[in-house]
Amino acid sequence: MDARLPDRIEALMRLSVHMRTTSMPPDRRITLQQRRRLRHMLQAGDARRAGATYREIAAGLFGADRVAAGPWKTSSLRDTVIALVEDARRMVEGDYRKLLHRRRRQTSPR
């Protein structure tokens, strides 16, 4: 037994639910926003490796209308996409292991 025992038990419980119902309960250690960013990161990294430009990736993730709404060179979407691609690259190079050691979210006292 160690400090990660609660995480391991929770993972086993989630797996058990998945095996019985084919739906996977969300990992409560990360927020909805963190899950969305991880998903976008994987999509952006895959698209970039497949040869997509940053602008094409932005259109795929956020919609062509948002990309066309302003100048691309100074767009915050451009910065976001570049960061997503770089973070995806780091994940592939080994940072994915950090996902296994996420801090538990604090729950508010009831």
Please provide the DSSP assignment of 44-88 as one string: HHHHHHTT--HHHHHHHHH-HHHHHTS-GGG-HHHHHHHHHHHHH
Distances (CA, A) of 70 to 40, 52, 65, 82: 21, 20, 9, 17
Shared domain check, 63 and 42: yes
Q: Residue 27 and residue 104: Cα distance in Å, rounded?
A: 10
Q: Residue 69 and residue 25: Cα distance in Å, rounded?
A: 37
Shared domain check, 40 and 25: no
Percent of the chain past pLDDT 70, that is, above it, reads 89
Shared domain check, 55 and 10: no
| Residue 90 located in a structural domain | yes
Shared domain check, 64 and 37: yes
Shared domain check, 92 and 53: yes
Give per-residue pLDDT as tens, 25-54: 877 778 889 889 999 999 999 999 999 999
pTM: 0.72
Shared domain check, 48 and 97: yes
Q: Has residue 98 got a pLDDT over 80?
A: no
pLDDT value of residue 108: 52
What's the chain's average pLDDT?
A: 87
Shared domain check, 43 and 15: no
Domain count, the chain: 2
Percent of the chain past pLDDT 90, that is, above it, reads 54
Shared domain check, 40 and 90: yes
Q: Has residue 102 got a pLDDT over 80?
A: no
Residue range of the domain that includes 39: 31-101
